[in-house]
Amino acid sequence: MNRLLDGKPDRTDGALTKENIRREAGISRATLFRAPQLLEWWDEQVGARAGRTPAEFARETENNQLKAEMAELKRKLRETEKALTGAKGIIGAMQVELDQLRSTVNNAAGSKVTPLRRR
């Protein structure tokens, strides 16, 4: 089955049919139809691939996975940007408070605090 779904058949023309499953596996029709769960799974797989080659289906599957990954990364980026915006606000408020404290210290009467000179 995987060979057929991957587009690499050994014993058939590659058509996605139950007859080709049987031929690829080298089993009888009766044996094939004794596995209804397997046939259900096959029908789901073939239905999902309707009208597409295995390469097209693989490309589309990969494309969908990449789109989902991109959406997740965009979500994380938005969260990070929100956190960064909040941090900018906090830093700004702290800078204002620091400036006020420096002004208070510099303007205090009889201040004994001497600012350090930069080197």
Is-above-0.75 flag for pTM? no
Q: Where do the domains of the chain lie?
A: 2-105
pLDDT tier at 109, thresholds 50, 70, 90? low
Query: Between residues 83 and 21, which one has the greater pLDDT?
Result: 83
User: What percentage of the chain carries pLDDT values higher than 90?
Assistant: 33
Cα separation, 44 vs 36, whole angstroms = 12
DSSP summary character for residue 10: S
Cα separation, 55 vs 6, whole angstroms = 8
Q: Where are the beta strands (DSSP E) in the chain?
A: none
Quickly list H helices, 16-114.
18-25, 29-33, 36-48, 54-107
Tokens standing for residue 111: 């201040």
pLDDT digits (tens, 9 = 90+) for 25-64: 888 989 888 888 988 887 888 877 776 777 787 888 899 9
Tokens standing for residue 83: 């956190």
CA atoms within 13 A on the CB side of 119: 0
pLDDT tier at 113, thresholds 50, 70, 90? low
